[in-house]
C-alpha cells in the first residue's frame, strides 16, 4: 500500500481534474528506479520478517503443546490410562487448595483389588494387566468428570472426590458395585469373580494428606479382612 501511494505521487498526475488544483512531480529515471528498487527490497524484507515471526509463533505454540503433552504423559499411567502416583501430590494439592478456598468438602477413596495375586498366578501377568485396565475403566465410569482416578499402587487406586462427603462417597461405592457386578456377569474370566475393597476418609483443614490417606487405608483393610466388598454389599 505504501509503495502504491508513493508511485501515485511519483507519476505526474492530476489529483483534482476539476481545474481547481493540479499537482505534478518530476524525477529523473535514476531516482525513480532507485526508489522502486528500495521499495521492493523494503517490501521483501517486511514480508520475510512476517513469515519469520509467524513461523516462530507456530514453533512456540507447537513446543508449548508438546511440552504439555509430555507433562501429562509423565502424570499418566500407560497401562490403565489414569493418573499415576507421581501426579498425586500435584493433583491432591490442587483439590485441597480448591476445597480450602471454597470451603467445600473433599473426600478420598482408596480401592484395592481383592486376591489380585490369584489373577496373576492363575491366568498370567498379561491377564492381570488387563484386569487392572478394566478396573480403572470401571472406576472412571463410576465417578464424575470433576473427580480424579489415580493408580495409587500395584493393584490399588485412589479416587479424589471434590465437593463430596462420606455420604456421597457411599453412593459412588454403590455405583462401583453395580459396575463390578456387570463386569462379572459378562464372564470376562472363567471361574473368577472380581471384587474390590474400599476405604473412605474426608479431608479436614489442619489434617495432612498422609494422615487422611492413612485413615482411608485402615478402613479399606478393615473392609478387606471383614470380607465386605462393594460387590457383596450390593447383592
Q: What does residue 186 show for φ and ψ, rounded to 5 degrees? A: -75, -10
CATH 3.30.499.10 fits 85-234, yes or no: no
pTM score of the predicted model: 0.68
Task: Give the whole-angstrom CA distance, residue 48 versus residue 17.
Answer: 39
pLDDT digits (tens, 9 = 90+) for 74-121: 679 999 999 999 899 889 999 999 999 999 999 999 999 999 998 989
> How is residue 45 written as a grid cell?
524484507
Mean pLDDT, to the nearest integer, of 114-138? 93
Rounded Cα gap, residues 140 and 149, in angstroms: 7
User: Distance between alpha carbon 85 and the CA centroid of its chain, in Å?
Assistant: 15
* Whether the predicted pLDDT of 235 surpasses 50: no
| Separation CA 67–CA 82 (nearest Å) | 19
Indicate the domain borders of the chain. 2-70, 85-234
CA–CA separation, 155 vs 44, rounded Å? Answer: 63
pLDDT in tens, 15-26: 445 555 555 666
Other Cβ atoms less than 10 A from the Cβ of 172: the count is: 22
Amino acid at each position: 500500500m505504501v509503495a502504491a501511494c508513493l508511485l501515485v505521487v511519483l507519476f505526474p498526475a492530476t489529483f483534482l481534474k476539476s481545474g481547481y488544483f493540479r499537482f505534478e512531480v518530476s524525477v529523473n529515471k535514476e531516482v525513480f528506479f532507485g526508489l522502486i528498487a528500495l521499495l521492493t527490497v523494503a517490501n521483501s524484507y517486511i514480508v520475510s520478517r512476517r513469515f519469520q515471526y509467524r513461523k516462530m509463533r507456530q514453533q512456540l505454540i507447537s513446543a508449548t503443546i508438546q511440552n504439555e503433552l509430555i507433562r501429562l504423559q509423565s502424570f499418566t499411567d500407560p497401562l490403565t490410562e489414569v493418573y499415576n502416583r507421581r501426579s498425586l501430590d500435584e493433583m491432591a494439592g490442587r483439590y485441597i487448595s480448591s476445597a480450602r478456598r471454597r470451603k467445600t468438602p473433599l473426600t478420598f477413596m482408596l480401592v484395592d483389588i481383592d486376591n489380585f495375586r490369584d489373577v496373576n498366578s492363575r491366568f498370567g501377568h498379561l491377564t492381570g494387566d488387563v484386569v487392572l485396565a478394566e478396573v480403572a475403566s470401571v472406576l472412571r465410569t463410576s465417578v464424575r468428570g470433576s473427580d480424579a482416578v489415580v493408580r495409587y499402587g500395584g493393584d490399588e487406586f485412589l479416587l479424589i472426590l471434590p465437593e463430596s462427603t462420606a455420604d456421597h462417597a457411599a453412593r459412588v461405592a454403590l455405583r462401583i458395585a453395580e459396575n463390578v457386578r456387570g463386569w462379572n456377569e459378562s464372564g470376562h474370566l472363567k471361574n473368577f469373580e472380581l471384587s474390590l475393597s474400599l476405604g473412605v476418609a474426608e479431608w479436614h483443614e489442619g489434617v495432612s494428606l498422609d494422615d487422611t490417606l492413612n485413615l482411608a487405608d485402615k478402613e479399606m483393610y478393615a473392609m478387606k479382612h471383614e470380607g465386605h466388598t462393594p460387590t457383596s454389599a450390593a447383592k
